[in-house]
Every structure is written in structure tokens, then in C-alpha cells.
Amino acid sequence: MPRYDLPLDDIRVVELGQLLAGPFCGQLLGDFGAEVIKVEDPGRGDPMRQWGREKPHGRSLWWPVVARNKKSVTCDLRTPEGQDLVKRLVAEADVLLENFRPGTLERWGMSPAELHAINPWLVITRVTGFGQTGPYAPRAGYGSIGEAMGGIRHVTGDPDRPPSRAGISLGDSLAATHACVGTLVALHQRERSGKGQVVDSAIYEAVLAMMESLLPEWQQAAYQRERTGPVLPNVSPSNVYPTADGESVLIAANQDSVFARLARVMGAPGLAADPRFATHGARGEHMAELDGLVAAWTATLPAEELLRTLHEGGVPAGRIYTAADMFADPHFAAREAIVRVPHPEFGELAMQNVVPKLSATPGAVRTPGPELGRHNDEVYGGLLGLTGAELAGLREKGVI
């Protein structure tokens, strides 16, 4: 196995969460070298092991990605013996990551105060729907609810239809990404203070954080953003346009200088000086008219010729990619955006690579998601020093 020099390889994370909101944070930390010990329920494991539409060999294709670079141990957290095992792991850890409903850890005797009594350096990262405080904290909160409450659902889709959703678990992933940022900040601060702290990442707040000027627009101008389909209000031209061979190309030329370039490649440089289109505000006011002019031009060219013309003219443009397009694209290949990882059932399994890229100590996908409990002996025996007899006893009781 290749040797990696990874920037977080001195950090140990105990991951208690399941599904995506917590585990994606663990994936991000593991991508850069953190030792992520994933604690799963014996016999069942994380439900992500069964999720996903396509299941060749009866295996989830989601699990190898979200659990990559992790170690799997089993532990029944509802038992005193299981809780004791986690406390012993906490004593050896830098981060505890969980996404249970607020109060769950407390019921198991693992409140932040109790965990910090064991390990004052511990960073406790908690991902939930509504946060650890406030009147909604006790509610069950899935990513879709956070997306709705955080504002993204209301502005997604076409104006003549009910709110839509992205085809991915956007709220969960945003909350996990913010949790990762918070964890890294808390680890940095720990070096100054000598103490850990709690990172409280709420799904609805992570979505809200991405909502640009939505709040001041309402507070200052009583303007409510609505669904606008493929365009943004008053931002033009920035839309999906037809081609002569029946494809669609996205063009984003709303900045003054970029629009001037587009006008030139369209063979109509005068458009950039036309009072209807000369400024950002004017183009926004005459969006429909301008989109019609651009679409009439793009429809005369096949997609490849159109894209070549736009790129040569310095106009941002591109196709809307599917997975097949990504595998065929030379830029994806040159930057190794897709990595292939050895897998015991799938052979060579393709998945997205680590981002962002670091020049000196980049992250790496070392292993796909492991089998349930694969690392019980390594972690409980090697790290905690349990004997073979003790491990056998825990297995007999169903604790691990």
C-alpha cells in the first residue's frame, strides 16, 4: 500500500453519527489523513450501507464514498459496556463527531461536560437539524427540512411550479462541510488555549449561510426572492441556450466586459453600447429581450462550434454535464477529479477525488468504505489494549 504524508494524520476522530450529515464531515477529515474510527451498531451498521439506487453485488455504491478512509468498529451505545468503550476511545481521541438528536449523548452519560472530564482537549462536533439550543432543538430534523427552513427550497425550481429540490442531499452536505470547518477551527484554537470545545452545526443554519443577500433584501427593501428557473433576476445574459444540433449550452456573460466579448463573437458588437444592454442594470431590465437575441444566435451553431467560438472569445460557457460527460472530459482526467480505488467486490471503483487540492500535502483516497466491524480487533485490541478474552466476552454479549 502506498505511503501517504497527510496533513491531518496526527488527528484521531471518533465518529458516532450515521447517514450523511455527520459522516460527510468525517469523510472530509479522513480525506486529509485523520484517523476516523467509525462506531456502528452491531449487526446493522450505518443505514448508508444499504442506501443508493444501484446495488451491484447487493452492495451500496454510496457507502464506499462516504465511509472512505475510515475504520469500522461495532458498539452498542445503548449498553453500559458500549458507553464505556466509547469513553475509552474518547480518552485517546482529538475529535468526537456525532449527529444524533440533541440530548442523546447526554442520556448515554456522554454530555460535553462528562466527555471533557475524560479528555479536556476533545473537540466535540455535533450536527443536527436545528442546533443544540432553541425551541426546535428537540425536533427530528432531516436535511430536506433544513433546506426548506433555510430558504433554498423556496427559490429552487420554476416559478409556475411548487418548490423543487437539488438531486443531492444538499442540506446534510452543507451542514457537514460547515461542521468540518468548525472542527478545524476548534483544533487550531485548542493549540492556543489547551482546551477543546463544542462545534454546533445546524442544517438549517448551514443552508441559510449560503443564501447570499436574501435577508437584507427583505429587511431593507421588502423584496422576497422567488423561483426563477434557470436564471437569476436582473442578471443577464446568464442562461441555458439552444444549439443547432439540439443540445443546450450555458452561457454566463453578465459582467460588462464579458458581455462586450459576447457581443463581438455574436457579430453584433454594437449591442454592448445599446442603451438597453450597456449596463448590468439595463441588461437585467431587458433580460427577456436579450435572452431572445442570444438564443437566436446560438441556435444557428452546433454545440461544439458554439463552445469553441465562445471559449476563443473569452466568454464563460459550457455544457451541463452528466456522469458520462465527466468520465469523458479531458480536464477531469488532467486534474484527476475522478479517482479509481481498489474494492474487493467492485474491482476498480470510481469516485470523486479529494478537494481542495493542496500543493505540498494533498489529501488522498486510501481505502473505500470498510466492512462492518472490520477494525474491531485493531482498535479495541491495539489501541485500547483489550485482551482476546475481553473481546470475545463483548461479542458474546452483543456489545460489539
Beta bridge partner(s), residue 14: 37, 96
Place of cell 454535464: 321
Which 3 state secondary structure label does DSSP give 36? strand
- Among 206, 208, 187, smallest CA distance to 197 is for 187
Decide: 2 and 339 in contact? Cβ < 8 Å: no
Of 172, 274, 325, 329, which residue is the catalytic one?
172
CA distance 56 to 142: 27
The answer to whether 69 and 367 have CB atoms below 8 angstroms apart is yes
The CA distance from 204 to 150, in Å, is 5
- C-alpha cell of 321? 454535464
Told to judge if 200 belongs to the known catalytic residues of this protein, a careful annotator would answer no
Strands 238-242 and 347-352 turn out to be unpaired
Task: Count the Cβ atoms, other than its own, within 10 Å of residue 24.
Answer: 24
Alpha-carbon span 70 to 372, nearest angstrom: 11
Is 207 within 8 Å of 147 (Cβ atoms)? Answer: yes
CA-atom Rg of the chain in angstroms: 25
User: Cell triple for residue 369?
Assistant: 468504505
Peptide bond before residue 162 is cis, with ω within 30 degrees of 0: no
Q: What are phi and psi of 185, to 5 degrees?
A: -65, -45
Separation between Cα atoms, residue 364 and residue 6, nearest integer Å: 8
246 CA to centre of own chain: 33
Active site residues: 172
